[in-house]
Structures are given as C-alpha cells and as structure tokens.
Amino acid sequence: MNYEGTANEPPAGSIHKKNDSPDKVIDLTDLDWNRLWKAKLAARRSVSRDAAFWDGRASAFAKSTDTIYCDKLLSLMNPEAHWTVYDMGCGSGALAIPLAQRVSSVTAVDFSARMLDVINDRCKIDGISNVKTILGSWEDDWAQLGVGNYDIVIASRSLVVDDLQSCILKLAAVAKKRVYIVTAVGDGPHDRRLFTALGRPFEPGPDYIYYYNVLYHLGIRAQLSFIEEIRDRTFESPDDAAESMKWMLGKLTALEEKKLAAYVGKNLIQRLGKWRLSYSQTIRWAVMWWEKE
C-alpha cells in the first residue's frame, strides 16, 4: 500500500474532538508533534538501551533481525549500483551488508562497538570490501565523525531519540537524493502476550504516525508504504528463548523471572530439533521516504 502526494496524507485538515460539541474542531496543523512525541516517549516504562545494552545483544541481535523484512525493504528501495548509502543506527548490519552487494558503498554508523564488530566480521567472511563502519550516535557531531554526504540516507528501525525533529533534519542534511525512515506500526516487535503474562502494563510508545506528522510540519510530503513481517523465530533452548525476550522488558524482578520461565515453558514447542513459540507474531513496519529538492 502506498500513499503519494497529498491526496492520502493523514495529518492534513481538521477533525472533531470526541466528547465535544459538533462545532468544536482541532486543527491538526496546529499540533506540536515533536512535543507530543517527547511526551509519548516519556510515558513508556523506562528500559535502559544504551551502548552497553546493545553490545551485550550484538550476537543475538544479528540472528533476530535475519528476517524477510530486509528483502521486502530492498525490493521497495530498488537499489542502484552507483548509490552511496548512509545507514544510521545500522545495528549488526542486517541491511548494510545486503545493500553493499548492490550499491557502490555503504557507511554504517552505530553507537555499539560490538555491533560494528559483528558487521566487520561478516564482511570479512563474505568478502565485502565496500562497507565503512563509524562508531557514533544520533547526538554526536556527525561532521566531527567524518560523516559526509550520500546519495541515499537510511534510518531503518533505529530512529528512537529524545528529539525526533532535530534528528530528521540531521538525516536530511547529509542526503543528496533521498531519505528513508522505517519505524514500527502499533506494537511493532513487542509481544503484548508476554507483558500480560508478567503482569506488566504495556505502553508501545509513539509509532509511525508521529514521524509522519513531524515530517508534515517540516514541509516534507513523504511517501508511505507498509511492510508486514511474520516472525516465527527458532531458539537453541528454552533458556535461549527467555534471554531473547528480555530486550523488551529491561530489568526483571525475581518474580518476573519466574513468570517469564513459566511463559516460555507454556508456549515453547520443539520441532525438528529446534525450539519455537507455538504462535507466530505479525509485525508491521512503516516506510517513509522523500526526494531531496
């Protein structure tokens, strides 16, 4: 599904506010979506996801992101051989490595040194020589990091920052042709059933509509498409399954550890020598992109 131009842009116009008189309307163009983003982000239960967290997740993360998502995104992007690409928040290279096989060069940036180690190791194994890695964050001065300008700039499932608007502007500033932003729709990769089993309230945080409206207020009329991913991961053992779920939860109490183990025991099945959940998870991603003028 694609929305192009202005005909299908969700943020434009005015709407009636619920529980108000029929004559009272809200002009969506007056809303400060960057401020609303910050408030929604702050309302989530805090989970520490600093560089140390992602360093510890690097090896497992490479496996968890090895899904059909990247194939679908690359099909949508239709990479060209002459492109230079900037992949901000590249993680373990789920997108950077297959992209490198189709474009001129990829500069992959992440604030987790271990994630970059995984990329470099994978490039050596696959004989890929056109990927440059840079240790850096959204908040860093990119010019001081040696970040230049690129044909295509991508933030694939990585743009979760305190100030969304300023980081979108940073992406646009280093792009020569096009910018892609990919983020979650609704719950994204989070599993509500797990939160319910642990007795925790679930607050998914701001999804793609906040991004789209911030873009709208910046005067960017982004195109929009959706990717649906059916995730059916396998695990080496029940302990491996439990560990792989903890990224959603952060620090667990002793009671929550027991509930997590019970949840895994109840929902994990073994098939062909591998462990997997008894249900599949449907995840939807929103892809927003625009051409530089």
The tens digit of pLDDT for each residue in 190-245 reads 999 999 999 998 888 899 999 999 999 999 999 999 999 998 888 889 998 998 88
- Looking up tokens 């002459």 gives 82
Q: Over 80: is that where the pLDDT of 1 sits?
A: no
What spatial distance separates the first Cα and last Cα of the chain, rounded to whole Å? 24
Per-residue pLDDT at 11: 44
Q: Is 158 exposed, middle or buried (0-12, 13-18, 19+ CB in 10 A)?
A: buried
Per-residue pLDDT at 42: 81
Report, as an integer, the average pLDDT of 90-94.
91
Per-residue pLDDT at 84: 98
Tokens of 187: 């719950």
pLDDT (tens digit, 9 = 90+) per residue, 137-185?
999 999 999 999 999 999 999 998 999 999 999 999 999 999 999 999 9
Tokens of 34: 């960057």
pLDDT tier, 13 (very low <50, low <70, confident <90, very high otherwise): very low
pLDDT tier, 55 (very low <50, low <70, confident <90, very high otherwise): low
Q: Over 60: is that where the pLDDT of 2 sits?
A: no
pLDDT tier, 45 (very low <50, low <70, confident <90, very high otherwise): low
Q: Which domains does the chain have, with CATH numbers?
A: 2-192+200-232+282-291 (3.40.50.150)
Q: Over 70: is that where the pLDDT of 54 sits?
A: no
Q: Are the CB atoms for 86 and 175 separated by under 8 Å?
A: yes
Q: What pTM does this model have?
A: 0.85
Distance CA 187, CA 19 (A): 27
C-alpha dist (Å) from residue 107 to 85, 154, 256, 269: 6, 10, 40, 40
pLDDT (tens digit, 9 = 90+) per residue, 65-91?
556 899 999 999 999 999 999 999 999
- Amino acid found at 80: E
pLDDT (tens digit, 9 = 90+) per residue, 126-140?
999 999 999 999 999
Q: Is 160 exposed, middle or buried (0-12, 13-18, 19+ CB in 10 A)?
A: middle
Per-residue pLDDT at 271: 85
